[in-house]
Amino acid sequence: MKKTSKIISLILAFCVAFSSLCVAWAAPVNSIYTGKSYTQNSRFDNFTISNGIDVSEHNGIIDWNAVKASGTDFAFIRVGYTGYGEKGTKVYDKYYKENITGALNAGIEVGVYWFSQAISCTEAADEAQKVLSVIGDYNITLPVVFDYEFGGGGASGRLYKRRNSLGKEYMTQIANKFCERVEQAGYRGCVYASENFFKDYLIAENISNKYEIWLANYATKTSYAGEYNYWQYSSAGKVSGIEGSVDANFRYLPNYAENDINSYSLESIPAQAYSPNGAQPEIKLTKNGAALVQGTDYIVSYSNNFAPGVAEAIITGINAFTGSRRVKFRIAPKAEYAPVKIEGGEGALELTWESAYGASAYWVRYVNNSTGEAGGMTVSENYATVYNLAGLTDYTVSVKPFININGLKIFGEYSPENVVKTDLYKITGFKQSGATTSSITLSWTAQNGADGYKVYRYNSKTKKYSLVKLLEGASQTTATLNKLNAGSYYYYTVESYCAENGLIASSPKTDVLKVSTKSKTPSIKKPKSTAKRKIKVSWKKVKATGYQIQWSTSKNFSSNTKSVWVKKGSATSKTIKTAKSKKTYYVRVRAYRQPDGKKVYSSWSKTMKIKVR
């Protein structure tokens, strides 16, 4: 016996020194994805071992019903990744929504992960928030995973380059920070890494004593001696519904005694409405169609359930049942709404509503009743203005509050729906598009929903704007006003109108537009060459802001042409200097008006010829 005892002691000492070589093994399990047999650690003898996959956009479009039919129980879906470059750009996986929805609809239990290159705790927390900000509407019952690896970045990857300077202790803190943040939001934290990564770059026991572990070790028998809850054993799995290879995983769930409440399925708890007496959701435990009875088979106590946010239910077996378990649930802000007050503005909606207790912000939803097109916006206060909507259109509006817990949005209920009609827009593009000595042409952009337009002109005698033109039809976007004075300024504004149910609705009037008719054509006199290379040009003045004089060696002014402006309407002459002497030049003049900075020209005068000295 003493000799045997010494041998056993030597064996135990060897195992302590070389723990990774002393893993005890249980019966092998065949993989539905690779067809191979995988030897399991004996610690999982009393565990149920289930089959699962993990996917990203690299797996393409997935037929999740076929995946489920293959025997898949669970799936981890990539939500996004951080790039290998120095900027550490964060990108969402382009298929994460379709994959989460498809897997859940097929009856597959879902977890999610973020491929990380975090080099600080702050960055890990930001990655966690990226995940939390998009998964709140899904029934995620498996962990939210921190995928920590060097990946394909190689020696140039931002994490790989810093692996030695960061050190095992700080890299462990980075991983734990991600898990801490997701657990604050009510999810289970988990760290994914390879066997070597856990050994060489992390202090694995400082993670596994608080969070779950997902081990990557491509072998038929892992030598990893640490704790783990999931084992990714191959990247070459095959499954119906996915083209090409897929990552294959085992999940380990303990087998509890028949009367242990942990052996029963816990129905997912939806977000609860706030109650001043504390939210107390119904807890349902079932197995094989049978349900336990609260108060008879188990009791429930609660913590942190008196305010919007994340609360916890503690379930304890009683009488014939044993065991205890905890589950987190969410409490949404309370909304005691008066109906949303809404007013239609110029292609806009102005909204107000009663504040919701505990709300961080609100989601405003609006639907165009004509087209069905929906939109929405987030606001931090209990009011909002929605712009750029269709004019004179009915919109259905409702609001729901939410609280933001570390990036996770927990929504309350929508308010009652209300319908309001927007006003017509103020017309845009209003401008002067033409003129003669006795008329002005105005134009503007057509407005949807309008039945026509009204043109108003300022009357200097009454000092009011009077209707001078009524146009019927939304496409009638030009108006010519006649019998005006030459070279005169006028002031116009335009509005659209719509006749509905015997009432006339009008848009706001445009800003006032100052316009001008053309001046009469000035009558040019015969020019004179008063000195070497100089020409005196004279004309008979007209009602104008100023004049433009043009001269050229070309009779039709097609080349060698120069201009000068005389900025005085009362002027009747201007001496110009030509480029050459002893040369024949052609000269002409025209008047202009300048309303709001834009020149309106008269016709050119008769062209006169002169040979300069």
Return the domain boundaries, the chain: 15-254, 261-332, 341-421, 431-516, 523-611
Q: Name the pTM for this structure.
A: 0.60
Intrachain domains 15-254 and 523-611 with the same fold: no
pLDDT over threshold 80, residue 324:
yes
Q: Percent of the chain scored above 90 by pLDDT?
A: 71
CB distance 575 to 566 below 8 Å: no
Distance CA 423, CA 345 (A): 5
For residue 179, the model assigns a pLDDT of 96
CATH architecture of 341-421: Sandwich (2.60)
Asked which of 375-389, 403-417, 482-496 is least confident by mean pLDDT, the reply is 403-417
pLDDT over threshold 90, residue 403:
no
Token couple for 296:
């008879």
pLDDT over threshold 90, residue 597:
no
Which of 304, 77, 362 has its CA nearest to residue 184? Answer: 304
CA 388 to chain centre: 18
For residue 390, the model assigns a pLDDT of 79
Return the biggest CA–CA distance within the chain.
140
Token couple for 372:
């069905």
Mean pLDDT score, 369-381: 91
Mean pLDDT score, 491-498: 93
Pick the more confident residue, 155 or 229. 229
Q: What does the pLDDT look like over 67-105, one tens digit per residue?
A: 999 999 999 999 999 999 989 999 999 999 999 999 999
**pLDDT grade, residue 18 (50/70/90)?**
very low
For residue 6, the model assigns a pLDDT of 41
For residue 9, the model assigns a pLDDT of 41
Which of 226, 154, 161 has its CA nearest to residue 193? Answer: 226
For residue 67, the model assigns a pLDDT of 97
**pLDDT grade, residue 337 (50/70/90)?**
low
Token couple for 190:
């988990």
**Cα–Cα separations (whole angstroms), residue 62 to 24, 53, 100, 235, 430:** 38, 12, 11, 17, 54
pLDDT averaged over every residue in the chain: 90
| DSSP H/E element including 377 | strand 374-379
Which amino acid is it at 99? Answer: N
What region, left, alpha or beta, does residue 265 occupy, with left being phi > 0 and alpha being psi -120 to 50 degrees? beta
For residue 579, the model assigns a pLDDT of 92
pLDDT over threshold 80, residue 339:
no
Q: What is the DSSP code string of 324-340?
A: EEEEEEEEEPB--PPPP
Which of 109, 95, 135 has its CA nearest to residue 406? Answer: 135
Mean pLDDT score, 192-196: 96
Top-level class of domain 15-254: alpha beta
Asked which of 152-161, 329-338, 356-365, 591-600 is least confident by mean pLDDT, the reply is 329-338
Helices in 75-187 by DSSP H: which ranges? 96-105, 121-135, 158-161, 163-184
**pLDDT grade, residue 338 (50/70/90)?**
low
Distance CA 251, CA 231 (A): 7
CA 101 to chain centre: 19
Among 236-250, 265-279, 404-418, top mean pLDDT goes to 236-250
CA 352 to chain centre: 24
For residue 7, the model assigns a pLDDT of 38
Distance CA 203, CA 192 (A): 13
pLDDT over threshold 60, residue 16:
no
For residue 564, the model assigns a pLDDT of 96
pLDDT over threshold 70, residue 444:
yes
**Cα–Cα separations (whole angstroms), residue 441 to 184, 515, 516:** 67, 9, 10
Mean pLDDT score, 114-118: 96
For residue 503, the model assigns a pLDDT of 62
Which amino acid is it at 475? Answer: S
Which of 136, 139, 217, 214 has its CA nearest to residue 175? Answer: 214
Neighbours of 159 (CB within 10 A): 22
Asked which of 15-29, 371-385, 458-472, 588-602 is least confident by mean pLDDT, the reply is 15-29
CB distance 31 to 248 below 8 Å: yes
CB distance 391 to 424 below 8 Å: yes
Distance CA 58, CA 488 (A): 71
Distance CA 116, CA 146 (A): 7
Unique residue bearing structure tokens 């106590």: 301
pLDDT over threshold 80, residue 554:
yes
Token couple for 93:
């996986």
Q: What does the pLDDT look like over 569-590, one tens digit per residue?
A: 999 999 999 999 999 999 999 9
Q: What is the DSSP code string of 244-306?
A: S-EEEEEEEEE---TTBGGGSEEPPPPPEEP-TT-------EEETTEE--BTTTEEEEEES-S
For residue 4, the model assigns a pLDDT of 36
Distance CA 153, CA 55 (A): 19
Give burial (CB, 10 Å; 0-12/13-18/19+) of 290: exposed
Unique residue bearing structure tokens 């006199």: 525
Which of 213, 169, 205 has its CA nearest to residue 189? Answer: 213
CB distance 491 to 513 below 8 Å: yes
Which of 322, 211, 213, 314 has its CA nearest to residue 263? Answer: 322
Q: What does the pLDDT look like over 431-441, one tens digit per residue?
A: 999 999 999 99
Cα dihedral 498, 501, 504, 506, rounded to 10, equals -50
Q: What share of the chain is helix, strand, coil (3-state, %, to 5)?
A: 15, 40, 40
Neighbours of 217 (CB within 10 A): 17
Q: What does the pLDDT look like over 35-68, one tens digit per residue?
A: 999 999 999 998 999 999 999 999 999 999 999 9
The CATH number of the domain covering residues in 523-611: 2.60.40.10
**pLDDT grade, residue 25 (50/70/90)?**
low
For residue 202, the model assigns a pLDDT of 97
**pLDDT grade, residue 156 (50/70/90)?**
confident
Unique residue bearing structure tokens 């002409």: 588
* Pick among 3.30.420.40, 2.60.40.10, 3.10.560.10, 3.50.50.60: CATH of 431-516: 2.60.40.10
For residue 24, the model assigns a pLDDT of 60
